[in-house]
Amino acid sequence: MKSLFVYETGTPQRRNASQRHRVAVIGGGPAGSVAATTLAQRGISVVLLERDKFPRFHIGESLLPNGNYLLKKIGVWDKVAAAGFVEKRAGQFTLADGSRTMRNVFAKGMIKGLTKAYQVERSRFDDILLRHAQEAGADVREETVVTKAVRSGDKWQVTVTSARRTESVEVQPMETLEVDWIIDASGRDSFMGRALKLKKASLPYPGRVAVFSHFKNMVRETGERAGDTIILRLRDAWVWVIPLSETLTSIGVVVQKSSTRRRGESWEELFWRKIAESSYMSACLEQATAVETYRVESDYSFSYENFGTEKVLLAGDAASFIDPIFSSGVYLAVESGYQAANRIADNLEGRLGARRPQKIYRDYTRLMKRQMGHMRQLIDAYYDKDSFEVFMSPRPLLQLPGAVNSVLAGSLLPRFSIRWRLWLFQKICALQKRYGLVPRIEWPDRTE
What would the DSSP string read from start to end of 104-115?
A: EEGGGSSSTT--
DSSP per residue, 249-318? EEEEEEEEGGG-PPTT--HHHHHHHHHTT-HHHHHHTTT-EE-S--EEEES--EEBS-SEETTEEE-GGG
Q: Is-contact 26 209, C-beta < 8 A?
A: no
- Identify the helix (H) or strand (E) that includes residue 345: helix 329-348
- What are the chain's domains? 1-85+120-200+302-372 (3.50.50.60), 86-118+204-298 (3.30.9.100)
Give residue 169's pLDDT.
47
- 184-201 per-position pLDDT tens digit: 999 998 999 999 999 999
**Start-to-end C-alpha separation, the chain:** 65
% of the chain at pLDDT higher than 90 = 81
**What is the distance of C-alpha 409 from the center of its chain?**
14
Closest CA to 226 of 241, 213, 204, 237: 241
Whole-number Å distance between alpha carbons of 302 and 200: 7
- Identify the helix (H) or strand (E) that includes residue 343: helix 329-348
- 128-160 per-position pLDDT tens digit: 999 999 999 999 999 999 999 999 888 999 999
The upper half-sphere exposure of residue 45, i.e. CA atoms within 13 Å in the direction of its Cβ, equals 8
Whole-number Å distance between alpha carbons of 41 and 136: 6
Cα-based distances in Å from 425 to 65, 367, 379, 392, 433: 22, 23, 13, 12, 13
**What is the distance of C-alpha 38 from the center of its chain?**
19
Closest CA to 39 of 17, 57, 24, 20: 24
Count of residues for the chain? 448
**What is the distance of C-alpha 171 from the center of its chain?**
34
Alpha-carbon torsion, ordered 8, 299, 35, 85, to 10 deg? 130
Whole-number Å distance between alpha carbons of 439 and 99: 13
- pLDDT tens per residue across all 448 residues of the chain: 334 455 554 433 344 444 579 999 999 999 999 999 999 999 999 999 999 999 999 999 999 999 999 999 999 999 999 999 999 999 999 999 888 999 999 999 999 999 999 999 999 999 999 999 999 999 999 999 999 999 988 899 999 998 876 555 455 567 999 999 999 999 998 999 999 999 999 998 889 999 999 999 999 999 999 999 999 999 899 999 999 999 999 999 999 987 778 889 999 999 999 999 999 999 999 999 999 999 999 989 999 999 999 999 999 999 999 999 999 999 999 999 999 999 999 999 987 655 588 999 999 999 999 999 999 999 999 999 999 999 999 988 899 999 999 999 999 999 999 999 999 999 999 999 999 999 999 886 554 4
- 331-342 per-position pLDDT tens digit: 999 999 999 999
